[in-house]
Amino acid sequence: MGEEIRTVPVELGPESYTIYIGKNLQETVLSALRQKAYSKKALLVTDSNVGPLYGSKVRSVLRKAGLEVDLYEVPAGEHTKNLAEAEKLYTRCIELGLDRKSPIFALGGGVVGDLTGFVAATYMRGVPFVQLPTSLLAMVDSSVGGKVAVNHALGKNLIGAFYQPDAVFMDLSMLGSLPEREICTGLGEIVKYGMIYDVDFFAFLEQHAEEVLRLDHEPTRHMIARSCEIKAEVVSQDEKEAGLRRILNFGHTMGHAIEKETGYIRYNHGEAVAIGMAGAADISVQMGLLSEEDARRIDALIEAMHLPLYADGCTVDAMYADIFHDKKTIGGKVNWVLLDRIGHAVCRNDVPESVVRGAMQARIQH
């Protein structure tokens, strides 16, 4: 049993925590929680998709750890990530009499993690927060790095905080219930880590694309652990996004514009980021940074992961306007994350408008 569990430490001084990755983590969860000085009362937040599958099972594990756990279910979907839902959660916390040492658990994908983390960060100025991500995307992206947020009618993730969890438990047996499209959206973020940070990991994904799409146990555990290690390494060097952490936004500048233009309905996050990464590779070639051969390898890996290379339902003018509303745009200058080779990212804020528009044009379905 012991060898089955991979751990990834996230080194952030007093805010440090551990990510546990493996199948059937009940015993791991129990021993980790019994070492914490939590209050008895706890809240487990999930959504209407995940709750029926895993809600009561997880609640019984938490009860075994000596917690009195209330299970709270939010509607599934991005539209749940708002201040109105957060307020309902605060009300529940107050009704239950949760105090400053009461842990709040997030069981679900990125929406549940972001919303629950935002509530945990702000209820009583911060209570213990534990992530139990159930989607591949949440495991490798939103559950690592301590960014929590809700959306505003005028933009995604505009109201948020940096707030680290106490622990993250990734039970790979929960991935079995994911539809294929949800697996692919997680792979969008996973290939990103190879592109920006680790050419050997990129090559591993090229060589094991089929096993990875099937979620074979060994390659899956390795790819999740390596993704978390890379993100943890970057975040521990730059927790509040002053410099290096920006490389994690590779593909996101154009990707967020695609999501916005298609109403957050046509493309999920990983799909939009995949098109955005292909577009950022195009810009990198135009700027004389990246070889055309590397750009072709990037397109080929995106396709191998069953992800799109072109966006439907977007216009260049609208996408170009959108990138100036992005949180990463400072003083009217867009900070583009580009590549000078596979495995190494560079940030540039001097990309000419004509190059950006050209790359957007090339990535729109005609």
Residue positions annotated with a catalytic role: 125, 147, 189, 231, 241, 245, 249, 252, 256, 269
Kindly tell me the sign of the dihedral angle through the C-alpha atoms of 58, 129, 114, 22: negative
User: Do β-strands 333-334 and 329-330 pair in parallel, antiparallel, or remain unpaired?
Assistant: antiparallel
Burial of 275 (0-12, 13-18, 19+ CB in 10 A): buried
β partners of residue 352: none
Tally Cβ neighbours within 10 Å of residue 269.
23
Tally Cβ neighbours within 10 Å of residue 186.
28
Burial of 294 (0-12, 13-18, 19+ CB in 10 A): buried
Q: Give the C-alpha separation, 316 to 322, whole Å.
A: 10
Q: For residue 49, what are its two tokens?
A: 């998709």
CA atoms within 13 A on the CB side of 353: 8
